[in-house]
Amino acid sequence: MADAPRTVLISGCSSGIGLELAVQLAHDPRQRYHVVATMRDLGKKGTLEAAAGEALGQTLTVAQLDVCSDESVAQCLSCIQGGEVDVLVNNAGVGLVGPLEGLSLAAMQNVFDTNFFGAVRLVKAVLPGMKRRRQGHIVVVSSVMGLQGVVFNEAYAASKFAVEGFFESLAVQLLQFNIFISLVEPGPVITEFEGKLLEQVSTAEFPGTDPDTLSYFQDLYLPASRELFHNVGQSPQDVAKVIVKVIGSARPPLRRQTNTRYTPLTALKAMDPSGSLYVRTSHRLLFHWPRLLKLGLRCLACSCFRTPVWPR
């Protein structure tokens, strides 16, 4: 007798990684999953429903979920048969980029409310059932910015550092209940949202920012960021494929980076745990050697580094 499909609850499915992951799991040839694909605004469900095709209403259900609301989380779980979630994928997230002086504390708090507290809120809701059944898998879409800071992304990186520390700590306890945690760490992901975000901040004024800092952001960081996305960026489909493998693994990993082309950029911090090598090299490349940075990113794109780079 075939095993019953596992219920997979995914947040942030209106677009990007969440949408692609929901569709790939719903179209699993072995029909191992029933996907509850959620989003804050159901007015945006059209793209997901079209992509789901015949899986809609069969192996995929669309539901409303605001990860920043206790009431919304409770309502969503009450609509799941038995209220039992076998796999939780914390994918909902927001970005924030720009000079610190020009960003409001409210905007930074919003990043933490979604990226960190939203993930914690969902885990608190599903964890009692997972512990009672002595099984479960919590997948968290983190970021390489949870491993190393990136200039002009301070608040976003901080939210992902918090995610990494929280879930690594929780993973120790949950192994005792046969519950696994997996932190999936994409690098740059090419989405319509990211494109619009970069376009918006390129013309933003960031009041309170001194002229030098604003110039560094607009004339150095933004061109380097576009180059990074162009040369090293992954598609949401490729990231979703990695997550599908993580979910299907008999022994899920605690961490899984999705983009081997980004590995040389994270290797700097691994080579020097103090962080000084990464900070000084990043500073020199961005502020003093932007042409070398551009050349290096193009090398990554053309597979000059054909195998992952690891420190000896």
Indicate which residue of 156, 216, 262, 278 is catalytic: 156
Higher pLDDT, 12 or 205: 12
Beta strands 179-185; 6-10: pairing state:
unpaired
Listed residue (97, 71, 108, 58) closest to 195, CA to CA: 97
Q: Where are the domains of the chain?
A: 6-193+233-260
Does 190 show up as a binding residue in the annotation? no
Q: 11-39, pLDDT tens digit by residue?
A: 999 999 999 999 999 999 999 999 999 99
Q: What angle do CA 251, 16, 40 make, to 5 degrees?
A: 95
Report yes or no: 121 and 70 within 8 Å, Cβ to Cβ: yes
- Pair 229, 197: CB distance under 8 Å: no
3-state helix/strand/coil string of the chain: CCCCCEEEEECCCCCHHHHHHHHHHHCCCCCCEEEEEEECCHHHCHHHHHHHHHHECCCEEEEECCCCCHHHHHHHHHCCHHHCCCEEEECCCCCCCCCHHHCCHHHHHHHHHHHHHHHHHHHHHHHHHHHHHCCEEEEEECCHHHCCCCCCCHHHHHHHHHHHHHHHHHHHHHHHHCEEEEEEECCCECCHHHHHHHHHHHHCCCCCCCHHHHHHHHHHHHHHHHHHHHHHCECHHHHHHHHHHHHHCCCCCCEEECCHHHHHHHHHHHHCCCCHHHHHHHHHHHHCCHHHHHHHHHHHHCCCCCCCCCCC
Q: Is 33 assigned a ligand-binding role in the annotation?
A: yes
Q: Is 278 a catalytic residue?
A: no
Please name the fold of domain 6-193+233-260. Rossmann fold (3.40.50)
* Percent of the chain topping pLDDT 70: 96
pLDDT at position 3 is 80
pLDDT higher than 60, residue 1:
no
Tell me the pLDDT of the chain averaged across its residues.
Answer: 92
Crossing angle of helices 154-174 and 118-133, in 10° steps, is 10
pLDDT score for 266: 83
pLDDT at 248: 97
The residues pairing with 6 across neighbouring beta strands, listed in sequence order, are: 33
Q: What is the mean pLDDT of residues 60-88?
A: 95
So what's the pLDDT on residue 312?
32
Angle between helices 236-248 and 16-26 (to 10 degrees): 50
pLDDT single digits (tens) 82-135: 779 999 999 999 999 999 999 999 999 999 999 999 999 999 999 999 999 999
Does the annotation place 275 within a ligand binding site?
no
pLDDT for 309:
38
**Residue 78, number of CB atoms within 10 A of its CB:** 8
Percentage of the chain surpassing pLDDT 90?
A: 78
What whole-number distance in Å separates Cα of residue 164 and Cα of residue 235? 23
Residue 15 is assigned to a ligand binding site? yes
pLDDT of residue 194: 79
14 annotated ligand-binding residue: yes
Q: What number is the average pLDDT over the span 212-241?
A: 93
134 marked ligand binding residue: no
Q: Angle formed by the axes of helices 118-133 and 70-78, to 10°?
A: 40
